[in-house]
Chains A and B, each alone.
Chain A
Amino acid sequence: MCRSVLLVLTLIAVTLGAAATAGPSAKLARTITGSWNMGQRARGLPVLMVIRQDDNLYPSFWCGVCSGDKFTITGSENPLTEDLEIRSTGGFGAKITHIPRKQGMERQIPGGIWTATGTKLNVGLEFKEFKNWKLIAQDAQGIKLRADYSGEFRANDQRAPIQGSMDFSINTLVANFSWITHLTLNGSDLGLEGPQAGPLKIKVRGFSPTSRDVPPPSGAADDL
């Protein structure tokens, strides 16, 4: 009995001690930290891409899945400034697997002619690297982060480099995140001609699989 009481007291002391040494950003850092296997299948078609053009009535809607390997977001508290520091390792992609057919409009909807390849359709985006992470909001729904990325848009055998910023919403209830980015590309860089050769306004969004994986604490190896 005494041993149990001692054990409980020890646990309380350790918890209080940890809390006493953690700064204001520590809890937030722990919350946003996670690892996701982006190639893992999530429910439905988690990627949505909408392409619009000025002066074109018709947008195109594309759906697909996330792709890639392990993508890790690590939050930590700067021990000196107590500021939140965020970094990430890895990247992920968005692979288009489905487009609602708009028969007769393949040359009217932006990128419609990419579908001429049929089942060999190879359209997607790769977000290879993320940097300049920032916390932009925190509310009851979750935590919103923003990061700059660089990567590539592929449309069958055409490739175009992309750069932009992506907003992440970390859903703390179901341990996944959703992401959204807006970018503009010239259709001519992706093999489009005529009225579609000009700027394409692309919105891509998706959500990750759920994951409870947490990377090792920042600097843990150094501590050893």
Chain B
Amino acid sequence: MPRTFLIALLLVGLLVCSSQAARPKDLQFLPVEISFLEAKGQARVLTGQLHFKDTIPVVIEGRPGALTKDKLIPSNINPAVIVRQPDGRFLLRTNTGQVFFQFAFDRIPVGLESGAHFGEAIDQGLGIDAEQELGAATQKAPPPVTLALPEKSDLEEIKVRQIQKMQFLAVKGVNMEVGGRYLAYSKSLKGSNGTVQLSAATYFGGAGDESFLGGGFLKDGSIVAVLNLTQLDFCPSPTATVVGQDRPLADVPLPTTSTTRAPRIEGGTAPVLVKYSSDLKKIDSITRWAWGTAGLSRVVVTPDGRVYISGMGLQHFASLWKLAGQARQLTEDKTNDPPPVGAGFVAKLTENLAGIEWIVASEGGMSFGLAAEGNLLAMAQGKYWWIDPQGQVKAADAIKTKITSNKMGLTVSPYDSSYYHGGDYNSGTGFEPYRNPYLHRVLPDGTVAWTAWNWTGPTVGTYFRQVSDSRAARVRFCRDGDILVVGWSDGGNSVLCNQPYDLEKFHKLGALHDMSAASVGSFAHLLRMDARTMTVKASTMWISYMPYASLGKPNSGYIQDLVELPDGRIAMQGGTAFATLETPDAWVRPFIADYRDDPKTARPKAGACFVMFDVELKQIEFSTLVPGVTSCQLANRGKSVLLIGGAAGEVTNYGTTLRSLTRAAVQEQFGGGRTDAYIMLVDTAATK
């Protein structure tokens, strides 16, 4: 008898220990008021705590999804309410907009708060383990969500099909009012005091999906923007000058482009060049190549106003071949023959944009970048080629050291002709970071000057904790020989925060760098590096913060393009996932203005933005939303900046609908489709 008692005691002890060990620290609960229909059709409301582990599993458009806790804590900007829809789905309304879903379970067990661990025990599958060990039949997985009530109820469970509404209630100790770092930054940003002004902004598009590929300032100060189109009916005036002759399209299939980022090109596509007046308030002329001649992928306007384009030749490309002042293929034995459909090309346009000074083409695609002294560095057939301003081609020296392939497009310095290979790679070591950034600088003679980062997983993962996945995304150039590197990381502990050659040395931190409490996201880094030594001289991140007094963790941001102004300031186009940090002089009424009027109703906004940093990247001098802007490039001349890309006309972000900005517009109204081409002229020194 004593022995039996001891064994029983031991088993109880073991059970207690094991259940405590299995108790998850991350089990969550939220107070909720559930409205549901009883079996007899009577409405009933219960208030209790909804218990779950990490997230509430749901199905969104047939795919597994999850509702996270921060979406379900109500505040003045977050309704946190789930309502059944006539079609049977549920609608969750949160600060981040709304989502339709179905729960990934069919019932919610009901218990007492005092026994709130019942859900936890079920969740841990302790019962299942015991039954499986005893050879019982496979048991259905337990519901992942349970409802704990303060008083005993006659209910054992609520069927999901009975639920009409779930209103989540405030959580004691969690302050979801607007606050934290978001509010602190919003209050501290002073703005440019009217120095940065929107001069003009206009659409260019019809019912289709249009977007400018690029553009810039011409020699006389006028502005050119270039795009691919399949029709131009939406812009009857001025009449387009046609380069080549329009012909009927034959049914010739186009080659599949290898990169998913390539613009969609149809058989009847043609490049269109829109020349605006220097104040962007008038279209001076439109030049169109004959339909079906080419689809463009890149446009570069040089500082002296010459326009270079590259793209893919379509079925009527050969008809342009003879119009060009000079045309050649890179293939030695077919130098003067027109290339086949799908060949890549680089072309220089005449100064009036209505002609082609020269074309260089190659089977298999071409890319190019602007090098020093007006030369181009082109890549075709896996080799590099120099093309001089007169169109003369010369094979470039091969890269002398084996380096990692380029993942960020051909990036050439217009100041010293060096070029850069960058990206990230997975070292496959099983150690974080799984994605390792690298950047190689290659001198014009093919010598690799330096390699930045390129630390692999085991090097960083063992002794250094900068284990966030990271990437070198793109490079831009400053006049003094510095380079601007855009980086990406999925967390705050990134090797991008170190000098790229030294894991034990952090570089200077700039305007935004507080990444404490960050969880996984998508964060942008901006580094000003000495191109000669790769030393980071200045840096900042572009992020935002969740706008709550509690849970105000860093939130995702991205950088699309950058340009350095003559005074050293940096203009940036990017965006944030939520709660963009805006300056008081933003072009769209900023959060802080609403907050000063009424803190209870002020809602942070988000989306694409235009930002100005100081030379040292320590100050956000100006920040504004540019609603609906997509795929943008920046160009600069003097104190003027062009933002060239597409715009969606109207965009709803986190419950706030904003229209794309127009001012002194040639085309005031959005033409339809997903985007119109869009161009904006910014005066960055309006009061200077």
The reply to whether B450 and A61 form a contact with Cβ atoms under 8 Å apart is no
Interface residue A205 (Cβ < 8 Å from any Cβ of B): yes
Find A59's partner among B403, B431, B502, B535 (CB 8 Å cutoff): B502
Bound: A59/B503 CA distance, A: 9
Interface residue B100 (Cβ < 8 Å from any Cβ of A): no
The reply to whether B450 and A45 form a contact with Cβ atoms under 8 Å apart is no
Find A100's partner among B441, B450, B454 (CB 8 Å cutoff): B454
Residues of chain B whose beta carbon lies under 8 Å from any beta carbon of chain A: 401-403, 431, 440-441, 447-451, 454-456, 458-459, 461-463, 501-504, 533, 535
The reply to whether A61 and B440 form a contact with Cβ atoms under 8 Å apart is no
Known: A104-B450, A205-B463. A61 touches B456 (CB 8 A): no
- Nearest A residue to B449 by beta-carbon distance? A104
8 new A-B contacts at CB < 8 Å, known A57-B535, A103-B401, A104-B448: A44-B431, A44-B461, A98-B459, A103-B403, A103-B448, A104-B403, A104-B440, A108-B450
The reply to whether A59 and B402 form a contact with Cβ atoms under 8 Å apart is no
B169 CB → nearest A CB, Å: 42
Find B454's partner among A45, A58, A63, A101 (CB 8 Å cutoff): A101
- Nearest A residue to B533 by beta-carbon distance? A57
The reply to whether A104 and B458 form a contact with Cβ atoms under 8 Å apart is no
A55 CB → nearest B CB, Å: 13
18 contacts between A and B (CB under 8 A): A44-B458, A45-B458, A46-B462, A48-B463, A50-B504, A58-B502, A61-B455, A101-B454, A102-B451, A103-B451, A104-B401, A104-B448, A104-B450, A104-B451, A105-B450, A105-B451, A109-B501, A205-B463
Known: A103-B448, A104-B448, A105-B450. A58 touches B501 (CB 8 A): yes
The reply to whether A103 and B402 form a contact with Cβ atoms under 8 Å apart is yes
The reply to whether B501 and A98 form a contact with Cβ atoms under 8 Å apart is no
The reply to whether B463 and A102 form a contact with Cβ atoms under 8 Å apart is no
Per-residue B-contact encoding for A31-54, CB less than 8 Å = 1, 0 else: 000000000000011101010000
Residues of chain A whose beta carbon lies under 8 Å from any beta carbon of chain B: 44-46, 48, 50, 57-59, 61, 63, 98, 100-105, 108-109, 205
Q: Which has the most chain A C-beta neighbours within 10 Å: B402, B440, B462?
A: B462
- Nearest A residue to B463 by beta-carbon distance? A48
Chain A residues with CB under 8 Å of B502's CB are 58-59
Find B459's partner among A57, A61, A105, A108 (CB 8 Å cutoff): A61
The reply to whether A45 and B459 form a contact with Cβ atoms under 8 Å apart is yes
Chain A residues with CB under 8 Å of B441's CB are 104
| 4 closest cross-chain pairs (CB), A and B | A104-B448, A45-B458, A44-B462, A103-B451
Chain B residues with CB under 8 Å of A61's CB are 455, 459, 503
Bound: A63/B441 CA distance, A: 25
Chain A residues with CB under 8 Å of B459's CB are 45, 48, 61, 63, 98, 100
The reply to whether A98 and B458 form a contact with Cβ atoms under 8 Å apart is yes
The reply to whether A103 and B456 form a contact with Cβ atoms under 8 Å apart is no
Chain B residues with CB under 8 Å of A100's CB are 454-456, 459
Chain A residues with CB under 8 Å of B461's CB are 44
A109 CB → nearest B CB, Å: 8
Bound: A56/B441 CA distance, A: 19
- Nearest A residue to B502 by beta-carbon distance? A59
The reply to whether B456 and A59 form a contact with Cβ atoms under 8 Å apart is no
Bound: A18/B245 CA distance, A: 105
Bound: A63/B447 CA distance, A: 27
B270 CB → nearest A CB, Å: 42
Find B458's partner among A63, A105, A109, A205 (CB 8 Å cutoff): A63
- Nearest B residue to A47 by beta-carbon distance? B462
Chain B residues with CB under 8 Å of A57's CB are 501, 533, 535
Chain B residues with CB under 8 Å of A109's CB are 501
Chain B residues with CB under 8 Å of A101's CB are 451, 454
The reply to whether A59 and B454 form a contact with Cβ atoms under 8 Å apart is no
B151 CB → nearest A CB, Å: 46
Chain B residues with CB under 8 Å of A104's CB are 401, 403, 440-441, 447-451
Q: Which has the most chain A C-beta neighbours within 10 Å: B401, B403, B447, B501?
A: B501
- Nearest B residue to A97 by beta-carbon distance? B458
- Nearest B residue to A108 by beta-carbon distance? B450
Q: Which has the most chain B C-beta neighbours within 10 Å: A45, A101, A104?
A: A104
Find A102's partner among B402, B431, B454 (CB 8 Å cutoff): B454
Bound: A109/B459 CA distance, A: 16
- Nearest A residue to B436 by beta-carbon distance? A100
Chain A residues with CB under 8 Å of B403's CB are 103-104
Bound: A87/B421 CA distance, A: 53
Bound: A105/B532 CA distance, A: 13
